[in-house]
Amino acid sequence: MDGQDGLLFEGVPLQTIASAVGTPCWVTGAGTLRRRTRNLRKAFTERGVDIALHYAMKANDHQATLSVLRQEGCGADVVSGGELRRAIQAGIDPAHIVFSGVGKTDAELMLALQEEIGQINVESVEELRRLSRLARASSLTARVALRVNPHIDAGTHDKISTGRLGDKFGIDWDDAPTLYREASKLPGIEIRGLATHIGSQILTPTPFKAAYTRIAELVSGLRSEGLTVTMVDCGGGLGVRYRDELAPPPAALAGAIVETLGGLDLQLAIEPGRWIAAPAGLLLASIIDLKAQREGVSDFVIVDAAMNDLARPSLYDSWHGIIPLAPDLAYAETAPQTVVGPVCESSDVLAKDRLLPALRPGDQIAVLDTGAYGSVMSSTYNSRPLAAQVMIENGKWQIIRKRQNLESLWSDDVVPDWLDGAGT
Ligand code: LLP
């Protein structure tokens, strides 16, 4: 808050943006993206490690975000042909692109081969053999890491855990050595090392350390057989503070990696998404109406952003801070209120029983820390167009995506010929 300007983000009054662009509207702070990327890298360089940062673009894949992160020296972690093309479109050098994902189609693998990307993280024996066939048939070489599932519970939300026995990701721990041996002999495959990713929004270094300890043992075991292991991709997952969590600093992740893998003469890489992008974004919304409830039940604040815009609260019961933009509301008395969107689902709740000042229709709010897994997970459910997007840098701001126009919601629909004149 600053005088009459109300809530500021990177020096820009958010009321100005909300009023000029309308709501709902996503705002990305390029300065925050840059600062966090630099801090993350510094945690490693301070420990003498030159880590490769492959930004997990699933967190926020806007071309402007990708361009900022490319300027900051990041490559990209991609999980589909679409993301691969988007990363290349943003000018990211294919040599700095890693392709992860449990279900890569032949067409996607061919695209990765033809673009000669830096690394394909293979997740099964079937995929490894298929990739070898495709590479051989086209006389291309796939640089490969085996993504192993270390059977570690990262202690995070069930829906974003990926490294436990029974999770669909990665090669089973026990099968990894056999598959590595096979990969080292397969035509078209240049096996470079190992990858792992145990989950997202991880709030202690302990599971990271446990996973990397296992990986370090595997590296040593494979090398003792004469196999070559030159790199380890340590995945993403570093959590952030949304409410009052004690989120570990980057130094904790760097420490876990350096202590376990630092002495093994490996090229090291990570794939952070949330840690870089979440605090770099917010969602602006306006109050449509207030709906009073009987004594003892929180009143409803109905806003124009909904679960189709920000899916995280309805999907994972996640908590996001909410701050009114107007300066006179900054210090007003608060009462518990439940902030809901207009979508016809009871799960369309952005914040339940939240202490907020008395809001009025037309007041604007910011939903905080929505820069990762926010706009990218939006849908047009209930025929609600995708929200506008704005980027801020150095006190300047610009619309980076117009609000989707309504006609585009149905312009690709085709009504079968035989329905013409139906009902007449
Ligand atoms: N690498 C791989 C292979 C991944 O699967 C993921 C995330 C990342 C890196 C990046 O993880 P991060 O650094 O962002 O934690 N929609 C969920 C999060 C899903 C994460 C999926 N994988 C949410 O909103 O919480």
The pLDDT score that the predictor gives to residue 240 is 98
Farthest CA pair distance, the chain: 78
CA distance linking residue 92 with residue 244, whole number of Å: 35
The pLDDT score that the predictor gives to residue 162 is 75
User: Which of 58, 202, 257 to probe ligand 1 with, by most ligand atoms within 8 A of CB?
Assistant: 58
The reply, when asked if residue 316 is annotated as ligand binding, is yes
Residues with CB under 6 A from ligand 1: 56, 59, 77, 100, 160, 162, 197, 200-201, 235-238, 271-275, 312, 316, 372-373
- Domains of the chain plus CATH, in order, are 3-25+279-409 (2.40.37.10), 28-277 (3.20.20.10)
Q: How far is the CA of 122 from the centre of ligand 1 (A)?
A: 17
**Tens digits of residue pLDDT in 303-334:** 999 999 999 999 999 999 999 999 888 778 99
Q: ipTM value of the model?
A: 0.99
Q: How far is the CA of 157 from the centre of ligand 1 (A)?
A: 12
For 185, the enclosing helix (H) or strand (E) is helix 176-185
Q: Which amino acid residue places its CA nearest to atom 23 of ligand 1?
A: 373
Q: Which two tokens stand for residue 394?
A: 């150095």
The pLDDT score that the predictor gives to residue 151 is 84
The pLDDT score that the predictor gives to residue 157 is 80
User: Which of 161, 271, 319 to probe ligand 1 with, by most ligand atoms within 8 A of CB?
Assistant: 271
The pLDDT score that the predictor gives to residue 364 is 98
**Tens digits of residue pLDDT in 413-423:** 999 999 976 55
Q: How far is the CA of 172 from the centre of ligand 1 (A)?
A: 20
Q: Look at residue 155 and tell me whether its pLDDT is greater than 90.
A: no
Q: Which two tokens stand for residue 298?
A: 């929180």
User: Which of 200, 242, 270, 379 to probe ligand 1 with, by most ligand atoms within 8 A of CB?
Assistant: 200
Please give the average per-residue pLDDT across 198-224, as a whole number.
Answer: 96
pTM of the model: 0.96
Q: Residue 145 carries which DSSP code?
A: E
Ligand 1 atom closest to the CA of 200, numbered from 1? 15
In order, the DSSP letters of 345-385 are STT-EEEEEEEEE---TT-EEEE-S-SSSSGGG---GGGPP
Left, alpha or beta for 246 (phi > 0: left; psi -120 to 50: alpha)? beta
Q: How far is the CA of 161 from the centre of ligand 1 (A)?
A: 9
Contacts of 279 (CB under 8 A, 6+ apart): 32, 36, 240, 368, 369, 371
The reply, when asked if residue 345 is annotated as ligand binding, is yes
Q: Which amino acid residue places its CA nearest to atom 19 of ligand 1?
A: 160
- Which residues are tagged catalytic? 344
**Tens digits of residue pLDDT in 344-384:** 999 999 999 999 999 999 999 999 999 999 999 999 999 99
